[in-house]
Amino acid sequence: MTKTYRIGQIVPSSNTTMETEVPAMLRAHSRLRPNDQFTFHSSRMRMKKVQKEELAAMDAESDRCALELSDARMDVLGYACLVAIMAMGRGYHRVSQQRLTQRTASNDSAAPVITSAGALVDALKVMKARKIALVAPYMIPLTQLVMDYIANEGFEIVDWRALEIPDNLDVGRHDPAKLPGIVAGMNYADADVIVLSACVQMPSLAAVSQVEAQTGKPVLTASIATTYAILDALGLDPVVPGAGALLSGAYPRQAA
């Protein structure tokens, strides 16, 4: 029996990527599983510059966004900004997910809330990664903050690149065709997984298959991890063609 699921995304106001990559992956899933259909809905938090102060102010708007989306009775909500969560302190994705889920319940529309930050951490655990190589678009201080957050979750970062793009719109304009060349210059030999985009705004989906073929390593992005978490939360088979190792079918559902 066909069922249509409502996917809510809490996104930075300047984000242009999560509303393209996540729907693209879920529509590809639907082509494999025609009974799983999706509609997509967003609420926005103001943010233009990827700076710690703006990120903190933006995060304060996430409660409003969760309430707005719950008015439309979502089946799952995704908080689509990795660095905003990580900038709030180690382990904050757990605090955010619990609080925002409670906001939906308070509106008589309880729905699980995932974060791209938590989804990335959980995906690395699902893939049994211990060592990772990482590409991020942020300035170096924010990239180091992200790496500290990930390291605190039990992972070793063997090499990394910060592309130092301060404006969030420019992050969304970064050409994914440049990513294979960036990775080629990295020391990823000991990495279990390459995180091709530790950011939901930097487009990367188009380069995933090429980088996997080029390196012989599993490739993960924040948007792929978020899509896996969405499918898992809905109780659906986490399979999407062309979306890297995590969504290849090699990693079945985790949720009970």
For residue 54, give every residue at least 6 positions away whose Cβ sits within 8 Å of its Cβ, in sequence order, or none.
47, 48
Helix residue spans in 6-134 (DSSP H): 18-32, 52-59, 62-71, 82-86, 92-106, 116-126
81 among known catalytic residues: yes
Task: Tell me 34's DSSP state.
Answer: T
In one-letter notation, the amino acid at residue 21 is E
Q: Which of 58, 69, 81, 220 is catalytic?
A: 81
Q: Which residue has the tokens 């249509």?
A: 4
In one-letter notation, the amino acid at residue 245 is A
Q: Which of 50, 100, 198, 199 is catalytic?
A: 199
What are the strands of the beta sheet with 36-45, ordered from one edge?
A: 36-45, 3-12, 76-79, 113-115
In angstroms, the CA 246 to CA 3 distance is 24
Among residues 130, 115, 118, 146, which one has the least CA distance to residue 50? 146
Q: Could you give the C-alpha distances from 62 to 23, 46, 56, 69, in angstroms and in order? A: 21, 10, 10, 11
**Main-chain phi, psi angles of 222, to 5 degrees:** -65, -35
65 among known catalytic residues: no
**Catalytically annotated residues:** 81, 199
